[in-house]
A = this chain, B = another copy of it.
Amino acid sequence: MVKLVEYDDASPEVRAVYEDIARTRGIDPRDVNNAWKAQAIHPKNMARFWERAKTIMAPGALDHVTKELIYLAVSISQQCEYCIASHTHQARKKGASEAQLAEMFAIVGLAVEGNRMASAYRIPVDPMFDE
Protein backbone atom coordinates (compact mmCIF):
# COMPACT_ATOMS: atom_id res chain seq x y z
CA MET A 1 0.00 0.00 0.00
CA VAL A 2 1.07 3.58 -0.58
CA LYS A 3 2.40 5.06 2.68
CA LEU A 4 -0.01 7.55 4.32
CA VAL A 5 1.56 9.83 6.94
CA GLU A 6 -0.80 10.16 9.93
CA TYR A 7 -0.76 13.34 12.02
CA ASP A 8 0.62 11.56 15.07
CA ASP A 9 3.59 10.22 13.09
CA ALA A 10 4.21 13.44 11.17
CA SER A 11 7.17 15.83 11.45
CA PRO A 12 6.50 19.33 12.82
CA GLU A 13 6.73 20.69 9.24
CA VAL A 14 4.00 18.30 8.05
CA ARG A 15 1.89 18.78 11.17
CA ALA A 16 1.87 22.53 10.58
CA VAL A 17 0.35 22.00 7.12
CA TYR A 18 -2.23 19.49 8.42
CA GLU A 19 -3.17 22.01 11.11
CA ASP A 20 -3.61 24.83 8.62
CA ILE A 21 -5.75 22.60 6.38
CA ALA A 22 -7.80 21.60 9.43
CA ARG A 23 -8.22 25.24 10.52
CA THR A 24 -9.27 26.31 7.02
CA ARG A 25 -11.83 23.50 6.73
CA GLY A 26 -13.02 23.42 10.32
CA ILE A 27 -11.98 19.79 10.87
CA ASP A 28 -9.58 17.89 13.15
CA PRO A 29 -5.95 17.76 11.88
CA ARG A 30 -6.16 13.96 12.21
CA ASP A 31 -8.96 14.00 9.61
CA VAL A 32 -7.26 15.64 6.61
CA ASN A 33 -7.97 13.52 3.53
CA ASN A 34 -5.55 11.06 1.96
CA ALA A 35 -4.40 13.55 -0.69
CA TRP A 36 -2.36 15.21 2.06
CA LYS A 37 -1.35 12.08 3.96
CA ALA A 38 0.15 10.66 0.73
CA GLN A 39 1.90 13.84 -0.43
CA ALA A 40 3.47 14.24 3.04
CA ILE A 41 6.48 12.11 2.05
CA HIS A 42 7.61 15.23 0.15
CA PRO A 43 6.79 17.98 2.67
CA LYS A 44 8.02 20.95 0.61
CA ASN A 45 5.93 19.96 -2.41
CA MET A 46 2.90 19.36 -0.20
CA ALA A 47 3.29 22.71 1.59
CA ARG A 48 3.67 24.59 -1.70
CA PHE A 49 0.62 22.87 -3.22
CA TRP A 50 -1.49 23.57 -0.13
CA GLU A 51 -0.53 27.26 -0.01
CA ARG A 52 -1.53 27.62 -3.64
CA ALA A 53 -4.77 25.64 -3.26
CA LYS A 54 -5.80 27.70 -0.22
CA THR A 55 -5.30 30.97 -2.12
CA ILE A 56 -6.85 29.89 -5.42
CA MET A 57 -9.92 28.10 -4.01
CA ALA A 58 -10.90 30.92 -1.63
CA PRO A 59 -14.04 32.81 -2.76
CA GLY A 60 -13.27 35.89 -4.87
CA ALA A 61 -14.73 36.96 -8.21
CA LEU A 62 -16.10 33.39 -8.31
CA ASP A 63 -17.96 31.84 -5.36
CA HIS A 64 -17.14 28.61 -3.50
CA VAL A 65 -19.53 26.36 -5.42
CA THR A 66 -18.55 27.69 -8.85
CA LYS A 67 -14.88 27.15 -8.02
CA GLU A 68 -15.53 23.57 -6.92
CA LEU A 69 -17.59 22.89 -10.06
CA ILE A 70 -14.76 24.18 -12.26
CA TYR A 71 -12.15 22.12 -10.38
CA LEU A 72 -14.37 19.05 -10.68
CA ALA A 73 -15.12 19.68 -14.38
CA VAL A 74 -11.38 19.80 -15.11
CA SER A 75 -10.80 16.64 -13.06
CA ILE A 76 -13.52 14.83 -15.02
CA SER A 77 -12.11 16.01 -18.33
CA GLN A 78 -8.67 14.75 -17.20
CA GLN A 79 -10.21 11.55 -15.77
CA CYS A 80 -8.63 11.70 -12.31
CA GLU A 81 -10.43 9.15 -10.10
CA TYR A 82 -9.25 10.44 -6.73
CA CYS A 83 -9.89 14.08 -7.64
CA ILE A 84 -13.39 13.30 -8.89
CA ALA A 85 -14.23 11.40 -5.70
CA SER A 86 -12.90 14.12 -3.40
CA HIS A 87 -14.20 17.15 -5.29
CA THR A 88 -17.66 15.65 -5.88
CA HIS A 89 -17.78 15.28 -2.11
CA GLN A 90 -16.52 18.87 -1.63
CA ALA A 91 -18.93 20.31 -4.19
CA ARG A 92 -21.96 18.67 -2.54
CA LYS A 93 -20.72 19.68 0.92
CA LYS A 94 -20.41 23.30 -0.24
CA GLY A 95 -23.97 23.25 -1.59
CA ALA A 96 -23.84 22.13 -5.22
CA SER A 97 -27.18 20.54 -6.15
CA GLU A 98 -27.67 17.35 -8.21
CA ALA A 99 -29.20 19.55 -10.92
CA GLN A 100 -26.04 21.70 -11.02
CA LEU A 101 -23.82 18.61 -11.11
CA ALA A 102 -25.93 17.10 -13.91
CA GLU A 103 -25.67 20.27 -16.00
CA MET A 104 -21.92 20.51 -15.41
CA PHE A 105 -21.45 16.84 -16.38
CA ALA A 106 -23.36 17.51 -19.62
CA ILE A 107 -21.17 20.54 -20.40
CA VAL A 108 -18.00 18.48 -19.82
CA GLY A 109 -19.27 15.81 -22.21
CA LEU A 110 -20.22 18.40 -24.81
CA ALA A 111 -16.90 20.21 -24.48
CA VAL A 112 -14.66 17.14 -24.79
CA GLU A 113 -16.56 16.22 -27.96
CA GLY A 114 -16.48 19.81 -29.25
CA ASN A 115 -12.74 19.90 -28.61
CA ARG A 116 -12.21 16.80 -30.80
CA MET A 117 -14.48 18.08 -33.58
CA ALA A 118 -12.49 21.33 -33.69
CA SER A 119 -9.42 19.17 -34.34
CA ALA A 120 -11.11 16.65 -36.63
CA TYR A 121 -12.39 19.40 -38.94
CA ARG A 122 -9.23 21.50 -38.49
CA ILE A 123 -11.43 24.57 -37.88
CA PRO A 124 -9.59 27.87 -38.53
CA VAL A 125 -9.98 30.53 -35.80
CA ASP A 126 -12.44 33.25 -36.84
CA PRO A 127 -10.76 36.69 -37.24
CA MET A 128 -13.38 38.17 -34.87
CA PHE A 129 -12.01 36.01 -32.03
CA ASP A 130 -8.63 37.70 -32.34
CA GLU A 131 -9.92 41.27 -32.21
Q: Which residues of A contact B (CB under 8 A)?
A: 1-2, 4, 33-35, 38-39, 41-42, 44-45, 48-49, 52-53, 55-57, 60-62, 66-67, 69-71, 73-86, 88-89, 97-126, 128-130
Contacts and interface: CB of A to CB of B under 8 A. Distances in A.
Closest 5 CB pairs of A and B: A61-B99, A80-B115, A109-B113, A74-B111, A82-B118
**Residue from A56, A77, A117, A121 with most neighbouring chain B CB atoms (10 Å):** A121
Given A39-B121, A115-B75, A102 B70 contact: no
Instruction: State the majority secondary structure of interface residues on A.
Output: helix
Contacts of A125: 34, 81-82, 85-86
